[in-house]
């Protein structure tokens, strides 16, 4: 239960962080 | 062991422990350039636009998770309170985001979720559909709690940018805070019940 609480809190941080960098999916990949 | 049990009986200690368990992450949020940039105006407007779009997409899925909390609730009071949260959030977010998106000429239908947003909402919905009631409410709590915390912090400091100020004012209301505190209490109560059962 508390693992879920902590993971969701980490996602909250990542949400702000990815918004700052306007992070999108890397559609162009070199295979 | 005895002193730990005594602390378990005290709701203030239990709530503090819950918040303390994520204190490192909360500190990282408080000092993140996105948050400090809202206050001093240094946040690029393109990042704010990206955020509002992603938040709008997020809230659609988050509302489903809160609805599932309502479905899995233990009684009518909890069921109806979660339902009210969904409706309140829907009204506020619709007004706020419609304001921004209309102003910027952005159609939500043309936007895609970011990788983090996809991962976060997939996690929430997986727990919402397959997890137990305590797991569901524990996973949706950070969204409530972090926004209340950040909202208070930002309202105190304000912002020189009109758009940022308008957004900040959304999360500082007393009614919002009452809803968050209700959920904190509920998670705390179920967490303690679980700990007691597990011995």
Q: What is the pLDDT along chain B (199 residues), one digit of tens a residue?
A: 444 555 555 666 667 888 999 999 999 999 999 999 999 999 999 999 999 999 999 999 999 999 999 999 999 999 999 999 999 878 877 787 778 999 999 998 899 999 999 999 999 999 999 999 999 999 999 999 999 999 999 999 999 999 999 888 877 678 888 999 999 999 999 988 888 887 6
pLDDT score for B93: 73
C-alpha distances (whole Å) from A31 to each of A27, A28, B36, B114, B171 are 12, 10, 39, 22, 45
Q: Tell me the ipTM for this assembly.
A: 0.90
Q: Which runs of consecutive H residues, i.e. helices, occur in B73-132?
A: 76-104, 115-130
What rounded mean pLDDT belongs to chain B?
89
Q: What percent of chain A has a predicted confidence (pLDDT) above 90?
A: 65
* pLDDT tens readout for residues A1-31: 889 999 999 999 999 999 999 988 765 555 5
pLDDT at B3: 46
Are the beta carbons of B191 and A22 separated by less than 8 Å?
no
What is the biggest distance separating any 2 CA atoms in chain A, rounded to whole angstroms?
A: 40
Task: Measure in Å the smallest separation between the Cα of A28 and chain B Cα atoms.
Answer: 14
Confidence (pTM): 0.90
Q: Do B120 and A5 touch (CB under 8 A)?
A: no
For A24, the closest chain B residue by CA position comes to B114
Chain B residues with CB under 8 Å of A11 CB are 116, 119-120, 123, 142
A6: which residues sit within 8 A by CB, 6+ positions away? Answer: B21, B22, B25
């Amino acid at each position: 239960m508390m693992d879920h609480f902590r993971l969701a809190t980490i996602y909250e941080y990542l949400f702000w962080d990815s918004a700052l960098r306007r992070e999108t999916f890397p559609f162009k990949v070199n295979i | 062991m005895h002193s730990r049990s005594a602390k378990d009986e005290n709701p203030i200690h239990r709530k503090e422990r819950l918040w303390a368990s994520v204190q490192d992450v909360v500190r990282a949020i408080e000092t993140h350039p996105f948050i400090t940039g809202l206050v001093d105006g240094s946040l690029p407007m393109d990042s704010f636009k990206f955020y509002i779009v992603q938040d709008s997409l997020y809230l659609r899925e988050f509302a489903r998770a809160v609805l599932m909390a309502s479905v899995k609730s233990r009684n009518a009071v909890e069921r109806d309170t979660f339902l009210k949260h969904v409706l309140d959030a829907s009204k506020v977010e619709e007004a706020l985001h419609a304001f921004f998106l209309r102003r910027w000429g952005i159609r939500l239908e043309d936007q895609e979720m970011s990788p983090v947003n996809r991962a976060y909402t997939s996690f929430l919905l997986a727990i919402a559909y397959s997890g137990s009631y305590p797991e569901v409410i524990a996973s949706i709590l950070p969204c409530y709690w972090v926004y209340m915390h950040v909202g208070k912090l930002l309202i105190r400091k304000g912002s020189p940018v009109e758009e940022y100020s308008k957004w900040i004012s959304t999360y500082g209301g007393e009614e919002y805070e009452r809803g968050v505190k209700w959920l904190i209490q509920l998670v705390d109560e179920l967490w303690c019940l679980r700990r007691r059962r597990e011995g």
